[in-house]
């Protein structure tokens, strides 16, 4: 992407370090919110060409390495790295940052205006845990119907998914490692749905056990891993795949523990 509109007399006074700090802040926030590496690059590149910078990015799962060079001051170059915050998917952040990058590119926003707009995006409230947990419960109930469960199985799946999701958010709010919250959520969900199996609730209680934990499946990391692999970001792709794989292992551990405690044998869907 090239932009012949930038004027060194106007943008040439932007310090390279200030621009690098801004794009590192934006890039790591995007990575933590669920963006794949190509999306991070495209959003940052729009800003770079508007303000007369050349940027090389090396995204990883844990952070972002950038090298910035000014077109207006040939000897002004900097390389910096920043770790990303805890990964919590927030798709509205991706949309708003994309809109901001296009606004910079098309309307020539100043770096001060861009910093102010991005601060507003960073301070956006996250999704309400109660609303998300209710939505998770209904979605898992729907999946239970797809697995040939009846209305009673669906209700058990809904209760298990709702409680597990709510506990996951509450534990995550205590700043514990998210793998702990995922394992405990899988355990709680399976204990509730496993109770349906023990007491014979519904015609196909195994369907509730199998579908109620599906809200924990790391869909975003898995999809981003494939996208990064296709686009050539191999290190990021491998890191995301390992992260997703470990989440699946935590889900399996939580389910196994609850199934063992409930004494359920020969569980199969």
Q: What is the per-residue pLDDT across 8-58, written as a single tens digit (0 to 9) for each?
A: 766 667 889 999 999 999 999 999 999 999 999 999 999 999 998 999 999
Q: What is the pTM of this model?
A: 0.88
Whether residue 173 is found in the same domain as residue 106: no
SS (HEC) of 1-67? CCCCCCCHHHHCCCCHHHHHHHHHHHHHHHHHHCCCHHHHHHHHHHHHHHCCEEEEEEECCCEEEEE
CA distance 149 to 100: 45
Segments of 140-204 assigned E as strands: none
Q: What is the per-residue pLDDT across 141-194, written as a single tens digit (0 to 9) for each?
A: 999 999 999 999 999 999 999 999 999 999 988 888 889 999 999 999 999 999
CA distance 42 to 177: 31
Q: What is the structure's pLDDT at 74?
A: 73
Count the domains in the chain. 2
Which of 91, 122, 153 is the endpoint of a domain?
A: 122
Sequence-distant (≥ 6) Cβ neighbours of residue 222 within 8 angstroms: 240, 241, 244
Q: Give percent of the chain with pLDDT exceeding 90.
A: 78
Which of 71, 99, 122 is the endpoint of a domain?
A: 122
Q: What is the structure's pLDDT at 125?
A: 87
Q: Stretch 75-80: mean pLDDT, rounded? A: 89
Q: Tell me whether residue 1 is in a domain.
A: no
Average pLDDT of the residues of the chain: 91
Range of the domain at 256: 129-262
Helix (H, G, I), strand (E, B) or coil at 29: helix
Q: What is the per-residue pLDDT across 83-116, written as a single tens digit (0 to 9) for each?
A: 998 888 899 999 999 999 999 999 989 999 999 9
Q: Give percent of the chain with pLDDT exceeding 70.
A: 94
Q: Is the pLDDT of residue 6 over 70?
A: no
Which of 122, 148, 183 is the endpoint of a domain?
A: 122
Q: Stretch 207-218: mean pLDDT, rounded? A: 95
Whether residue 147 is found in the same domain as residue 256: yes
Whether residue 115 is found in the same domain as residue 153: no
Q: Give the residue from 18, 23, 12, 29 showing the smallest Cα distance to 46.
A: 23
Q: What is the structure's pLDDT at 224?
A: 95
Q: Tell me whether residue 90 is in a domain.
A: yes
């Amino acid at each position: 992407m090239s932009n012949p509109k930038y004027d060194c007399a106007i943008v040439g006074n932007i310090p390279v370090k200030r621009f690098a700090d801004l794009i590192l802040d934006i890039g790591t926030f995007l990575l933590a919110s669920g963006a794949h590496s190509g999306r991070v690059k495209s959003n940052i590149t729009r800003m770079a060409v508007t303000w007369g910078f050349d940027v090389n990015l090396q995204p990883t799962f844990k952070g972002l390495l950038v090298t910035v060079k000014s077109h207006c001051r040939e000897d002004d170059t900097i390389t910096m790295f920043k770790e990303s915050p805890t990964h919590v998917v927030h798709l509205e952040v991706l949309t708003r940052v994309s809109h901001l990058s296009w606004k910079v590119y098309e309307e020539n926003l100043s770096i001060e205006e861009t910093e102010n707009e991005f601060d507003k995006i960073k301070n956006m409230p996250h999704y309400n845990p109660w609303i998300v947990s209710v939505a998770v419960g209904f979605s898992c109930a729907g999946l239970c119907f797809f697995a040939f469960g009846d209305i009673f199985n669906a209700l058990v799946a809904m209760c298990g998914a709702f409680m597990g999701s709510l506990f996951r958010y509450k534990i995550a709010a205590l700043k514990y490692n998210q793998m702990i919250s995922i394992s405990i959520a899988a355990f709680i969900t399976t204990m509730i749905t496993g109770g349906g199996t023990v007491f014979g609730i519904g015609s196909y209680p195994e369907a509730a056990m199998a579908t109620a934990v599906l809200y924990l499946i790391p869909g975003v990391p898995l999809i981003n891993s494939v996208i990064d692999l296709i686009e050539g970001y191999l290190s990021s792709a491998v890191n995301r795949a390992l992260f997703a794989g470990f989440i699946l292992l935590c889900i399996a551990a939580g389910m196994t523990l609850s199934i063992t405690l409930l004494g359920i044998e020969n569980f199969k869907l």
